[in-house]
Structure formats: C-alpha cells, structure tokens
Amino acid sequence: MTKSGFVIANLFRKRTRTILTLLSVIMAFLLFGLLQSINSMFNAGADFVGATRLITQARVSFTTALPISMLPKLEAVPGVARVAYWQWFGGVWQENTQLIVFAADPLRQRDVYPEYLMPDEQWQGFAKIRTSMIAGKQMADQYGWKVGEKIPISSNIYPQKNGSKSWVFDLVGIFDGKDDDAKKRTNQAFINYDYFDEANQFGKGRTNFFILKLTDSNQAAAVSKTVDAMFENSPDETKTQTEKDFNVGFVKQIGDIGLIVRWILFAVFFTLLLVVGNTMAQSVRERIPELAVLKTLGFSDGSVLGFVFAEAFTLCLFGGLVGLGLATFAGAAVTKGTGNQFPVYVDVRVWLIGIAAIVLMSLAVGLLPALRAQRLKIVDALAGR
Amino acid sequence: MSEPMVAVRNVTKVYQRGQQKVEVLHGLTLEIPKGDFVALMGPSGSGKTTLLNLIGGLDQPTAGEVLVGGKRIDKLPSGELAHWRAHNVGFVFQFYNLMPVLTAEGNVELPLLLTKLTAAQRKKNAAVALQVVGLADRAKHKPRELSGGQEQRVAIARALVSDPQLLVCDEPTGDLDRKTADEILGLLQVLNREHGKTIVIVTHDPKAAEFARRTLHLEKGQLLEQAA
C-alpha cells in the first residue's frame, strides 16, 4: 500500500457518490473546454489563409442591404473572378417551419459555387423560368419535394405586390454537394433573384451580400482590403471577410458570446464547487474518527491536511482531464461536422486554462474540509465530541 | 534501579467543557517499569482514559510531567509529538478503529508509511505482524469481512508493526464476548511476556485485569492503591 493508494481508496469509499461527483466534474470541464474554444473562435481575428471566396456585406450589418449596382465595381477588383449575390428571403414552409431561402442570380450562383452539383438543364431552367427555385438535397429529402412540383412558401419579410406573403415557386432543380462538406450545406434553397426583385413590395435592386470568387486564394487579404477601401466613406460602406468569419459573425448576432460563455461557465463552476465541496465536506465529516486514528498512529496535522487535499485534487484532476479530453474530441467532431466553418479547437491554451481551473477548484473545495481535518483534536474526535 | 518506561509526575488535567472547567486528574503520580503489564481500573469518569491518553501522547497535561522511555512528552509540540507516537507507542481501541477501505494488511501497513521502509519491506513487516497475531490467512480481507476478535487482532498487529516498546489499550475487550476477550488478553500477555512489551490497558472488566501483572485503581482522578 502507498499513500496515493490510500488516497484513492478513501476517495472511493462511497463509490456511487464519488462516481456521480466525478461525472459532474467531467461534464463541467467538457463544457468548459468547448465553451472556451468557442469563445476563442469568436474572439479570433480575421484569417484569410486558404480562402477561395469572400463575402461582402454592409459594414453596419448584413441585414442592411447593399445596392446591386456595386456588382461591376466588385468584379473589376483585381483578383476577383466572379461575383454572386444573395438576398435573404425568410421562407416559411407550411405552418411555421423556417427555411433557409435566398434569392440568387442562377448562373452566377453556379459559377461561384462549383461544389453544388446539379444537371445543366436544371441550372438553365433555374435561369430561364422566372418563378423557379432550386433546393439542396437535404432540404428536398426532408420535405419530400420533387423536381417539377410547385412549392408554396411564405415570406415572413417580403409581401408580393398584391400584399400577400404567400409565394409559389416551381422547383426546377435539386442540387447536391460534391463532397461531404458541401453535402452538409444542402439544407437551403434558392429562388430566382430577378423574379423576387420584381415581385416583392419593398426595396428594389438590393442584396444582403455579395460572394466574391477569387482567382487566387493568396489574394484574399488584398481583395478584402481593396473592396472595403473602395466603398469607404460612401453611403454603402462594406465589410469583406472570409466565409468562415462571416459564419462566426452571423452567430455573433445573438449577442455578446464572450459574456454568455463567461456566465454559463460561472454558473457551471459555481454549481460544481457546491457539489464537489459538499462531497468533500461530507467525506471528511463521516470519518472524523478515522482521521483521528491517523493522527494517533503518528501522522502529523500537515499530513492529514495533505491527505484531504490530495483527495480533492485527485477528484478534480481526474474529472477535469477526462472532461477536457472529451471536449477535445467533441471540438474536433464539431469542426469536422461543420466542414471547418465553425472550428472549435480545444488547443493548448484551453488545456492550460483548464489545468489552472483544476488546481484552483481543488484548493477551493479542499480547503475547508482539509483545515477541519488538520485542526481536529485526537481525544475529542475519538470520543465523538 | 532501571529507568521506568512510564513516569507520570504530579499530573493535573483540566478540561474546558463549555463554560465549566472540569479537573479530571488531580496531581497524579505513577511509575510503570519496563516490561510491566498494568491494568487501570476504576468507575466511569475516574480519569482512566485521560491518564492513558497522556501516557500515549494523545493529549497533554495541564500541569505536571509525563516521561516515556526517559523522554518528556508533555511539552512536545504537536508535530514532534506525532513523530514520537509513530515510533514509540502502539494503540489499541475498544472499537478497533480500523480503516474500512483498507484490507487487514493495508491497515497494519499504515503506520509504516511514516517510515523510510520500501514497499516490499513494509509488506513483509505487516505480514510478520499479522502472523504474530495469528491472522496471516486473513491479510486480504477488509474489516467488514472479519469478526470482532479478528478486527481487534488486526488492530494489535497495527499497534505492533513499528515495534514500539509501549502498548496502550483502551478497553480492548469491551466490545468482545468472554471467549474472544480472553483470547485477545492472552495475546497481549504473550506480547508482554515473550516480546517484552510494556502494556497499559484500561478496563472495567476484573477478569481482564487478571491478565495484567498488576492493577491500579483510579477514583476521582486519583490513584487509590496498588494491588498485586
């Protein structure tokens, strides 16, 4: 038997309680790892490395539409091969099912998104039929849509000129992704921009964002800078960023992610402190006589304090490391699952903060029970006083 | 004349119980020679356990001196006293006070964690101690898998394992039936006679006291007599 063996044996004296406490520590550190990484992702600066497309939106917000008249200027920027544009439609299917539907220029869409595969005649149909619509395979499968059907969709933003928010589109094509990443992004639909632009009651000739296909990914940073400089001090100032940064920014609209993350973590760790602290306090309370016997045998006050601290540390360390390990795997899965659009990396920095949290938590939950163990008087403890 | 194993000189012990001060021992003086086996008897509240705790270095007197093996232990700071206990005295309690999470072997090995012995040496010494108390075959059993008598034997092995010269036992048979109690007392007698251990036991049981070489009676914190 060793001192560490003794610590572990004591830790598992009430197996169920210890396992439940361990699970709460694991869950807390799993959340901690993921949320810290998400926070890092939201706080990261612009990253243009490897970008093949850029998204230009209004500097204020992508909800503020930009004029389509910017298109030739954007296409004239050196390094830009082709430009598509998307206008948010705000589709609702049947009662209340929200759909991701954009109004887009059909052929520009095909050129800028070569990873969306669809027979050429369907692309042509999309371009020629004014009331046309194409849907991603995921979406079409989900709602059982077939090519040739009329799809009634209402818009929660745009009424038609007759005042009706109900629109009917002809489904002329169903596109799929050419690889796994692209397949994951086929849960959206596109309607013909020209028809939408003419038929809606509101603004004309405007779009939420332009998608700039680049001739060379190395020019992403330069193109971004040029575009934004071009419209600086104009009524339509722009913000040009990579798709990844755009997606992150999109989620950021929810609110101050950093603040949300901090509050969640505060709540999680506060609860954890109570749970683990209670476990440790209970564990010490129910074996006061045993701790007194340890002192009787010659273990000093400091050694007994050390044993209790070691138990708290072992519990937090084991749970923390497993939690951070799981977070690392979960983060990698999220990164892969979103086609690298939401890179949740539980990196060295997160691990280091996690380990610091483990140490601090061990101290916090172990301190009072350890001091109690240290201070107990043998004679009183043995007599049950 | 050789130095006594235990010398208690004019010891007073006062406990604070709430607002009240309770004097448990009143200027008690006592000597226990090396190799003696002494039974301390007396009614509840007479100060037997208090005296035993002072002799074992679990508590310190309010006044007076306590010497064990020639060393004054009544003024030792807490850390030094703990170190002294680890190397000089073995304890046996009425309710065994074994660690429930450890096996018999683990319990006996526990005091050896305070020594510089290797893991193998610790294991070997624990096995020898268990053999002395006749429990070598129960080494891997946890306390809940042992009878009361076996638990007390493990406690005695734990008290012996670091080879102290003094064993202090507080009602060691108080929780056992007559037959098992006699076996435990017989074992203590063997340790006294054959291994030269000085033993002090507190007991209410006159039959238990018969196993000792002599019996000391306490009443109201004072030593009454010295019976043969």
In the stretch 300-359 of chain A, residues with CB closer than 8 A to chain B read 300-302
- Cβ-contact A297, B87 below 8 angstroms: no
Residue B21 lies in a domain: no
> pLDDT confidence of A48, banded at 50, 70, 90?
low
How many residues does this entry show for chain B? 228
**Is the dihedral angle over the CA atoms B125, B131, B137, B138 positive or is it negative?**
negative
- pTM greater than 0.90 (yes/no): no
- Shortest distance between the Cα of B40 and any Cα of chain A, in A, equals 18
- Output the DSSP codes for B105-172: HHHHHGGGGGS---HHHHHHHHHHHHHHTT-GGGTT--GGGS-HHHHHHHHHHHHHTT--SEEEEEST
DSSP assignment letter at A70: G
Nearest CA in chain B to A302: B79
- What's the pLDDT score for residue B105? 95
Q: Could you tell me which of B205, B208, B204, B168 has the C-alpha nearest to residue B185?
A: B208
Mean pLDDT of A360-381: 91
Partner-chain contact B106 A9, CB within 8 Å = yes
Backbone torsions φ then ψ of A381, nearest 5 degrees: -65, -40
- Whether residue A45 has pLDDT greater than 60: no
Q: Could you tell me which of A324, A312, A329 has the C-alpha nearest to residue A373?
A: A312
Q: Could you tell me which of A145, A171, A166 has the C-alpha nearest to residue A154?
A: A166
- Cβ-contact B85, B57 below 8 angstroms: yes
- Whether residue A254 has pLDDT greater than 90: no
CA distance A56 to A64: 12
Going from the C-alpha of B63 to that of each of A191, B17, B60, the distances in angstroms are: 98, 18, 9
Nearest CA in chain B to A296: B58
Interface test with B, best of A1, A11, A379 (most B CBs within 10 A): A1
- Output the DSSP codes for A286-351: TTHHHHHHHHHHT--HHHHHHHHHHHHHHHHHHHHHHHHHHHHHHHHHHHHHTTTSS-----HHHH
Question: What residues have CB less than 8 Å from A288, skipping those under 6 apart?
Answer: A376, A381
Sequence letter at residue A185? R
Max intra-chain CA distance, chain B: 52
Residue B67 lies in a domain: no
Query: Any alpha helices (H) in B26-89, and if so which ranges?
Result: 48-55, 78-88
CA distance A43 to A34: 14
- Cβ-contact A42, A248 below 8 angstroms: yes
- What's the pLDDT score for residue A82? 94
Partner-chain contact B111 A301, CB within 8 Å = no
* DSSP E strand boundaries for chain A: 53-58, 66-67, 80-88, 91-93, 97-98, 101-104, 116-117, 132-136, 150-155, 166-177, 189-192, 206-207, 209-214, 238-242
Question: What residues have CB less than 8 Å from B75, skipping those under 6 apart?
Answer: B60
Question: What are the pLDDT tens digits along chain B (228 aa)?
Answer: 467 999 999 999 998 888 888 899 999 999 999 999 999 999 988 899 999 999 999 999 999 999 999 899 998 999 999 999 999 999 998 888 999 999 999 999 999 999 999 999 999 999 999 998 888 999 999 999 999 999 999 999 999 899 899 999 998 888 888 888 898 899 899 999 998 999 999 998 888 889 999 999 998 888 886 443
CATH code for position B145 = 3.40.50.300
Beta strands at A209-214 and A80-88: parallel, antiparallel or unpaired: antiparallel
Number of domains in chain B: 1
Count of CB atoms situated within 10 Å of the CB of A134: 28
Mean pLDDT of A88-98: 85
- What's the pLDDT score for residue A169? 94
- Cβ-contact A158, A90 below 8 angstroms: yes
Count of CB atoms situated within 10 Å of the CB of A92: 18
- The string over B78-108, giving b where at least 16 C-beta atoms fall within 10 Å of a residue's C-beta and e elsewhere, is eeebbbbbbebbbbbbbebbbbebbbbbbbb
- What's the pLDDT score for residue B226? 44
Beta strands at A189-192 and A238-242: parallel, antiparallel or unpaired: unpaired
- B200: containing domain: 34-58+77-227
CA distance A142 to A187: 9
**Is the dihedral angle over the CA atoms A319, A321, A325, A330 positive or is it negative?**
positive
Beta strands at A166-177 and A132-136: parallel, antiparallel or unpaired: parallel
- What's the pLDDT score for residue B227? 41
Partner-chain contact B110 A1, CB within 8 Å = yes
Collapsing DSSP to helix, strand or coil, B29 comes out as strand
Answer with the residue of higher pLDDT: A372 or A254: A372
Going from the C-alpha of B199 to that of each of A186, B31, B169, B192, B216, the distances in angstroms are: 86, 13, 8, 7, 13
Nearest CA in chain B to A289: B97
Q: What is the ipTM of this complex?
A: 0.91
How many residues does this entry show for chain A? 385
Q: Percentage of residues in chain A with pLDDT exceeding 90?
A: 59
Reported as a single tens digit per residue, the pLDDT across A131-142 is 999 999 989 999
Chain B neighbors of A9, CB-CB under 8 A = 99, 101-102, 106
- What's the pLDDT score for residue B1? 47
Nearest CB neighbour to A297, from listed B59, B79, B110: B110
DSSP assignment letter at A261: H
Residue A257 tokens, joined: 């992610």
Residue B27 lies in a domain: no
Nearest CB neighbour to B59, from listed A13, A290, A379: A379
Domain ranges of chain A: 3-45+256-382, 60-236
CA distance B101 to B147: 16
